[in-house]
Structure 1
Amino acid sequence: MAELSFRDTILLNLREKHIRQQQIEKYISSYNELSSAYSLLSLKYATKQNLNPQNGEGISIEQSAAERQLKALTDILSKLQGSNNLLEEKVKEHETTIDELTKSNEALTKENNTFKIVIESNDIMLRNQEEDLLNERAAMKLLSDDYIEVSLRATMLNEELSRSRAEYFAIVEQFTNLKLKEADRMNAEVDIEFERQNLKKIANIHEAISNSPKIDLLNSSVHSACSFEMIAEDERNQIPMGSLGGFDVLMSECVSKTTCGDAFEILDLRWDHTGDALYIASGNKAVFKQLFKSERLFPCASFNKAKKAVNRIDLCEDKGLLLGASNDFCIYVWNTSNQTCRSTFTGHQQDVFSAKFFDDNKKLISGGRDKLVKVWDLNQQQIIRNFTPGTTCNDLIDFPDMNSCFLSGHQNKKLYLWDDRTSDSQAVSSYEFEDKIRSLSAVPCSGEIVCEIADDTLTRIDPRYMTEKRSYSAEQYKSLHTLTKCCISPNGNYLATGSSNGNIFIWNLDSSKMEKVLSCGKNGHDKPVISVAWHPNGNYLASGDAKGNICIWR
């Protein structure tokens, strides 16, 4: 049976009480009727007694019967009166209960009305929410239609992008092939010119030999005092490779390619004076030393302690010291013999981009992002001078042609000349370029330097007079790295630097003519070339790229 609600239970109780009240009213009606009958019988009895006082026996019998009847009625009446009293008490109780139930019913009615109001309010909210849901569904459908349309457009654009990429790669491949052909053509012209110069030198040698007086070595009187090595005619015609009387070798091919461990990008390269070892500054918090044998590099040692990338390195071989400028705001000096860190110079507030030995290796100079150029005492390990160019210093170079002077290149496009002997913290002189300076390289035995500029040019400068001598550029030469490092051949004949497409460009330092393009490819670089270093003998070139690869060219 289903459970009744509270309201239904109250109504059922009220019905049952109504039925009982009707029964009570019937009892009361019966009681009233019996009372009337009793009164009537009593009246009749009194009347008969008054009318027949002589007939004693008959009256006595009738009286006895009437009395018995009256007594029975009296008993019934007493019982009915007791039942009536009980019923009246129950009626009062029921009335009290009915009043309480009525009050409860009124409270429930009020509560029910409240619930009705709440339900009506909820119904209104539900209808509103249903309307909102319908509106949202309609909006979602519109969005879905828009999404489908956008997806179709995106698909069409992706297809168009794929076609454009294919066309772009085809154009890039054609452009690369054309540039390779152009480089091959230029290299062929350079080789022809190189061969012509060799033939001219050979002809000059033959002419000098033919014009010189002939000596009979067998009969000469000097034969007994001197000994000579007889050289065959074909050997006299050969021109030895390497540095010979100011002659540098022009590179043409990559003979080895190695990856410097986890070096990340190669930021600086430095040969020792013998050319038997190459020092490598990397973006992996270390400087690596590799031995150079049989045209290949072999790992030898590493110099650790820097907490971030080492940007520039310098060697002091007479003291066996290696210098490194790091992005952890410090400058480190290591012993090259045992790779231990001899000293750490702290004082810069931001990245140190360059550091060099200075003043016959008794001092250090450094500069970086904190817009200060500092001079340090190497032995006492303390700051001597602070120069304030007010702009980031990208590179430094010693200038021995002027005592106690050095040069710095900056991001404000200026080259500054500093004199350590002056008390003033300002530069002695300066020269402004068209764009910021990336690196500096000294021209051997000339008192001049080459500045690599961010506008993809290189400029030869005489710092004594701050005058521009020559400019070097090429249409396909582009360099994007902030600290790209150029280099000059040992005898000052050629200038080399790397580009962002992996090529290496070599110019004639005196004529500004681009002599050679060492092309990227399978045996070259496939990432931007950041640093290059010419071998001390002039017959090899080392280059490092942004992927940690080092190539040896000859």
Structure 2
Amino acid sequence: MIARFSVFFVNAVYDIERREVLHEIQGHSNDVNSVGFVDPLDPNVLVSGSDDHLIKIWDRRSLGAACIPSGVLIGHTEGITYVSPKGDGRHILSNGKDQAMKLWDIRRMASGSKKDYSETIDYCPPWDYRWMKYPLKSPLKHPKDCSVKTFVGHSVLKTLIRCHFSPCSNYTYTGSADGIIHIYSLQGNEKHRINTNSVKFGRSRHARDSRGLVRDVSWHPNAPYLICGQWLEDGGRLLKYDPAFE
């Protein structure tokens, strides 16, 4: 018997086996940049992050015709670049263009009713993260922030930079536009930095130090290694590190 799986993509849920759309969810007012399943063992609870500043939690069993989310995670003041569920059905990590990474507990989410949140507030002067610097000195505090912890120090610019939980879930980590891998404790303190710009690579075009952003990082689940993808002016490279910093 073939198991049936569903995939949540942008604003639709697909049944792979039947090749049909199960749900169409028009749930955000701007681009959806990241989606995921909150619990890998549960195909019903979904999360999406958008340029409308909001992270929304969806339950396929209670969507209804209006496609109202089960709840909304409020706290970012700029667009969401990535959402990363921990896999325990409760906690989610996110990166935002407000230069902040946030830890969430979905038990603290706001109601899915639009009267309980705003999608149209302007928090800073107009800017474009793809080629401009963040116009403020530090991330703004959202008046309805329901996140558990906020992590700052990295730079979310130029591309949709991603973030993750470490395999042991004791740390969070993220790439950064400054070319540094930032590793944080769950208490919010920066535990370690790995500067990819100081690594000499190869004998030719990458022989000298190169400055390039780190878009994504992956921590091996069993071995003490990190691998990252780095953007350079004339291409890209993969780098491996041993994060033995304790």
TM-score (norm 2): 0.70
Q: Which has the higher strand share?
A: 2
Q: Aligned pair 1:483/2:160, yes or no?
A: yes
Q: How much does 1:522 deviate?
A: 3.0
Q: Hey, what's the Cα distance between the residues in 1 that align with 2:96 and 2:198?
A: 26
Match of 2:148 in 1: 469
SS at match of 1:416: strand
Q: How much does 1:453 deviate?
A: 1.0
Match of 1:377 in 2: 15
Match of 1:458 in 2: 101
Residues 523/508 of structure 1: CA separation in 2 closer, same or farther (3 Å cut): farther
Q: How much does 1:496 deviate?
A: 1.2
TM-score (norm 1): 0.32
Residues 538/407 of structure 1: CA separation in 2 closer, same or farther (3 Å cut): farther
Q: How much does 1:446 deviate?
A: 6.7
What aligned pairs does 1:509-548 form with structure 2 within 5 A after superposition? 509=186, 511-519=187-195, 520-523=197-200, 526-537=211-222, 539-546=224-231, 547-548=235-236
Q: Aligned pair 1:430/2:72, yes or no?
A: yes
Deviation larger for 390-399 or 443-452: 443-452
Q: Contact conserved, 2:159 with 2:215, CA < 8 A, in 1?
A: no
Q: Hey, what's the Cα distance between the residues in 2 that align with 1:361 and 1:545?
A: 36
What aligned pairs does 1:482-501 form with structure 2 within 5 A after superposition? 482-501=159-178
Q: Contact conserved, 2:151 with 2:184, CA < 8 A, in 1?
A: yes
The percent of aligned pairs where both chains have the same amino acid is: 21
Q: Contact conserved, 1:491 with 1:538, CA < 8 A, in 2?
A: no
SS at match of 2:198: coil
Q: Contact conserved, 2:14 with 2:20, CA < 8 A, in 1?
A: yes
Counterpart AA for 1:393: V
Q: How much does 1:444 deviate?
A: 4.8
Counterpart AA for 2:26: T
- Find 1:550's aligned residue among 232, 238, 242: 238
Match of 2:52 in 1: 412
What aligned pairs does 1:309-458 form with structure 2 within 5 A after superposition? 362-367=5-10, 373-389=11-27, 390-400=29-39, 404-422=44-62, 423-424=64-65, 425-432=67-74, 433-445=76-88, 447-458=90-101
Residues 444/502 of structure 1: CA separation in 2 closer, same or farther (3 Å cut): same
Q: Hey, what's the Cα distance between the residues in 1 that align with 2:7 and 2:46?
A: 11
Counterpart AA for 1:437: I
CA RMSD of aligned residues (A): 2.1
Q: Contact conserved, 1:481 with 1:530, CA < 8 A, in 2?
A: no
Q: Which has the higher helix share?
A: 1
Bigger radius of gyration among the two: 1
Question: How many pairs are equivalent?
Answer: 188
Match of 2:116 in 1: none
Cα displacement string for residues 155-185 of structure 1 (whole angstroms, at most 9, x for unaligned residues): xxxxxxxxxxxxxxxxxxxxxxxxxxxxxxx
Residues 530/361 of structure 1: CA separation in 2 closer, same or farther (3 Å cut): farther
Cα displacement string for residues 427-465 of structure 1 (whole angstroms, at most 9, x for unaligned residues): 121123211111011225472011111111111011132
Counterpart AA for 2:17: N
Structure 2: 5+ residue stretches without partners: 110-145, 202-209
SS at match of 1:539: coil
Q: Hey, what's the Cα distance between the residues in 2 that align with 1:522 and 1:505?
A: 16
Residues 486/405 of structure 1: CA separation in 2 closer, same or farther (3 Å cut): same
Deviation larger for 536-545 or 399-408: 399-408
Deviation larger for 522-531 or 497-506: 522-531
SS at match of 1:405: strand
Cα displacement string for residues 120-179 of structure 1 (whole angstroms, at most 9, x for unaligned residues): xxxxxxxxxxxxxxxxxxxxxxxxxxxxxxxxxxxxxxxxxxxxxxxxxxxxxxxxxxxx
Q: How much does 1:365 deviate?
A: 0.7
Cα displacement string for residues 322-352 of structure 1 (whole angstroms, at most 9, x for unaligned residues): xxxxxxxxxxxxxxxxxxxxxxxxxxxxxxx
Q: How much does 1:538 deviate?
A: 5.0
SS at match of 1:408: strand
Q: Contact conserved, 2:101 with 2:151, CA < 8 A, in 1?
A: yes
Residues 444/406 of structure 1: CA separation in 2 closer, same or farther (3 Å cut): closer
Counterpart AA for 1:383: V
Structure 1: 5+ residue stretches without partners: 1-318, 320-359, 368-372
Q: Contact conserved, 2:96 with 2:156, CA < 8 A, in 1?
A: no
Segments ≥4 residues shifted beyond 4 Å: none
